[in-house]
Chains A and B, each alone.
Chain A
Amino acid sequence: MDYKQLGLTKQELVEMYRMMRLIRVFEENAIAYFKQGIVIGNMHMYIGEEAVATGVCKALTKEDYIASNHRCDGHLIAKGADINAMMAELMGKENGICGGRAGKMHQSAPEVGLLSANGIVGASQTLGTGHALYCSLFAPGRVSVAFFGDGGSNQGAFHESMNMAAVWKLPVIFVCENNHYAISTNVNTATAMGSFYQRAAAYGVPGVRVNGNNAIEVYAAAKQAVERARRGEGPSFIECDTYRLRGHHEGDEQTYRTREEIDEVIKNNDCINNMKKLLVAEFGWSEEEDAAMIKSIEDQVAAAVQFGIEGEPMKVEDMESNLYAE
């Protein structure tokens, strides 16, 4: 389906474009400050995959839940999390989104429905299914999305979550971000089919594969799945064929792939370019408009960096708090 059939307006497309750029600029800044030792931790960047979070979250409301994994920045930002608090979190600051104790992989923004990112590959699938169980019992009409990678798709949690969600008709959308690698392991050496959407049929779940670098294609699939879930018809599975443009983490030597392979995606299938081309072709999006947008995003992210830098580091005296809830 193209954007017209989906009823997307120019303004909505521009917003999606801006969202992808915001995620990218946020992460580019995180990398820059990581190199200076101001941002700390294990940096799994989402750069290249922005269309997935953007397209999926466009189909959701604030009240819907999402369960995220280690590559979580895009999910958080697209769901509407506070980027100031996120940047501060990456710096281990008290004004961070979890007071500095979570760090990059464990961020949480319940105010926008993202209860927890996760350092355990596979966890988002069972937890996201659990959010959907809550919706089905206590908040009918709300849905949940579980984001996970091609690596995470080979965990047992994939099977157990899909099976339970299907048999209970839970309102969950399983979004597999197939970026072709789990650290160094190519997807074709990790699953004999090389892709995952075919598996869905075995659970009685509709499964599709889309170009994950095309936000409109992702949105179209997500919209359909979300509507189905809201109607109480159960889970769906969306495999987003995407590509990470950075290493698995910052500092990854990437001996498992060639520069040409990366450049090929940048040149022909970068999600931001894909959307920009559409805006130019359909709405005459100009370089001036583009530059103005980029400038406003850079200012927004600079403010987030400033917010983080000005924050107080998390205190040792506070490290024992909140182990238990009241």
Chain B
Amino acid sequence: MKKIMYREAIASALAEEMRRDEKVFVMGEDVAITGGVFKATKGLLDEFGPARVRNTPLSEWAIAGVATGAAMCGARPVAEIMHVDFIGCCFDIILNQMSKMCYKTNGKVNVPIVLRTQGGRGRSNGCTQSQSLEALFTQVPGLKVVMPSTPYDAKGLLKTAIRDNNPVVFIEHKGLYQTKGEVPEQEYTIPLGKADIKRYGKDVTIISYSKSVLVALDAAKELEAKGIDVEVLDLRSLVPLDWDAITESVTKTGRVIICHEAAERGGYGAEIAAQIADKLFDELDAPVVRVCGANIPVPNATLPEIESAPTVKKLVDAAMRICKGGARNG
């Protein structure tokens, strides 16, 4: 199978969906001539022209709000917010408009929009361009929240998100755009709300998503050498959440680490931990632990930037700690 980059997977999903449905269009800052600052809309302008690849003024409130207004009429915009950190400039549209429209109108008006954005650290962009803010969105009823970790997932999930009749916040990771992975030539989609086991194991489950999945896979390799067999469960979409996959994995391993780059306090990991404590308490052989971002703004300098996020070492230490009692019997 052909290997392509994550950003190419995004661009090819957009192109395929725009070819399939004329109501699909793209709008955002610098999405046209340059193909976006991360090149994830590269090539679209040439094929679809400026009416459907709409370069906007620097104007987040209008990007989100105008796209929402168009979606309310039946358009299927993919609106881009360059950095998730800029969401503060248009948060009303997410918090009160796109998310509540279907509910408050009793299903009469829905908003089939994809809000594409990206977050995460790793490029020394500092505290206003490195955040992981997914918990702001998972807290808002009416949104779906998707965070792919591989090119394959990014393409299949974005195509599904565009076809979804609800607002989907699709959060990419700036540290993933250049990563490569196998993506089939023939068309495929991936349903929202289906997690994916990126590595099978029997001793401990690392529940993760987005770039932290790659950290978890590296940690799993090290732990293998230490005799600990790690399962890496990639949620892929946070809302809807694949609770069945979590149940199955946790029932098998009895040990859970939740890993995300976002600040630990009040993060989505806290929600997963609470649900596990509530519904799977009897399956646990050790406390649920979190390896997450520090509760500080993301520092710019290289080492603090790295160390304020999950690392292989932190995951290995956590796994060693909760596996002290040895692997599960039976």
Contacts and interface: CB of A to CB of B under 8 A. Distances in A.
Interface of A: 65, 67, 98-99, 101-102, 106, 108, 110, 115-116, 118-120, 122-123, 125-135, 137-139, 144, 156-157, 160-161, 163-164, 167-168, 321-326
B97 interface: yes
Contacts of A116: 72, 101, 104-105, 109
Contacts of B247: none
Contacts of A161: 62, 65-66
10 tightest A-B CB contacts, nearest first: A130-B69, A126-B65, A134-B73, A325-B110, A160-B62, A127-B69, A108-B105, A322-B107, A325-B165, A99-B106
Contact of A164 (B52, B59, B73, B165): B59
Interface residues on B, range: 35 or more
A287 to B, nearest CB: 42
B67 interface: yes
Contacts of B105: 98, 102, 106, 108, 110, 115-116
A164 B97 CA distance: 19
A321 B74 CA distance: 21
Interface in B61-95: 61-62, 64-75, 92-93
Contact of B97 (A108, A120, A137): A120
Contact of A324 (B25, B97, B102): B102
B109 to A, nearest CB: 5
A101 B103 contact: yes
A126 B93 contact: yes
Given A110-B109, A324-B166, A160 B69 contact: no
A325 B166 contact: yes
Contacts of A168: 54
Given A129-B66, A323-B141, A325-B107, A137 B102 contact: no
Nearest to B112: A325
B104 A133 contact: no
Interface centre among A122, A137, A144 (most CB of B within 10 A): A137
B103 A123 contact: no
B313 interface: no
A102 B102 CA distance: 11
Contacts of A135: 73
Contacts of A110: 105, 108-109
A223 to B, nearest CB: 23
